Amino acid sequence: MINMGSDNSSNNSLLNYILEESMSKDHVIVMEKLSEPKHDEDIAAELNLKATIVRTLLNELHAKNLVEYERTKNKKTGWYTYLWKKREDKIDEFIQSYLTHKLDILNKQLQAEKQGVTFACSCNRVSLEEAIETNFICPRCNETFIEFDNEKIIRKLESEIRKINKLLK
Ligand SMILES: [Zn+2]
């Protein structure tokens, strides 16, 4: 489980951070509007956005299981209205699965950085094998490839991995 304690606001800020990183700032704003159930056209009016845009954002959040809706038919017009709700019960699961996936990617990157000696010009980074293939000259910018010290990148990856592990504890 995610160790965010009982502090709901820190869990919310983590959710917002992940939503913005994996979806967009607009998804964060729409989620924040759902502190209580609302119709899509009301959210659109509050945000001064087109209803179609808000519906698209809501559908994308729905695909991630983060919102649900209740559909009602207007007997006079025959049209449907949708009342949207945040799925508080799914937020932890969403955060956990996102972080687990990210951790996996970071660990693979770290592995690759630790194993491979890399070379760099000003436009690219390549492996030793690739550098040998082109006689240590970059075919794109014509510069000589020089050995690249990836210590900083490794440290950054390790610190990100530590942070996520702490959150997942
Ligand atoms: Zn280059």
- 84: three-class secondary structure by DSSP: strand
Which pLDDT does position 12 carry in this prediction?
82
Q: What's the 106 CA to ligand 1 centre distance in angstroms?
A: 25
Which pLDDT does position 10 carry in this prediction?
66
Q: What is the CA radius of gyration of the chain?
A: 23
Burial class for 86, CB neighbours closer than 10 Å (0-12, 13-18, 19+): buried
Q: What's the 141 CA to ligand 1 centre distance in angstroms?
A: 4
Check: CB of residue 66 under 8 Å from CB of residue 28.
no
Which pLDDT does position 98 carry in this prediction?
95
Which pLDDT does position 115 carry in this prediction?
87
Q: What's the 153 CA to ligand 1 centre distance in angstroms?
A: 19
Which pLDDT does position 6 carry in this prediction?
45
Which pLDDT does position 7 carry in this prediction?
54
User: What count of other Cβ atoms lies within 10 Å of the Cβ of residue 114?
Assistant: 11
Q: What's the 115 CA to ligand 1 centre distance in angstroms?
A: 22
Q: What's the 152 CA to ligand 1 centre distance in angstroms?
A: 21
> How many Å apart are CA 166 and CA 161, to the nearest integer?
9
Residue ranges of domains in the chain: 8-87, 92-168
Q: What's the 13 CA to ligand 1 centre distance in angstroms?
A: 40
> How many Å apart are CA 84 and CA 66, to the nearest integer?
11
Check: CB of residue 30 under 8 Å from CB of residue 58.
yes
Q: What's the 120 CA to ligand 1 centre distance in angstroms?
A: 7
The domain 8-87 is placed in CATH, from the list 3.10.450.50, 1.10.10.10, 1.10.1040.10, 1.10.1270.20, at 1.10.10.10
Q: What's the 137 CA to ligand 1 centre distance in angstroms?
A: 8
In this prediction, the residues of the chain whose per-residue pLDDT falls under 70 are 1-10
Q: Dump the DSSP string for 94-111.
A: HHHHHHHHHHHHHHHHHH
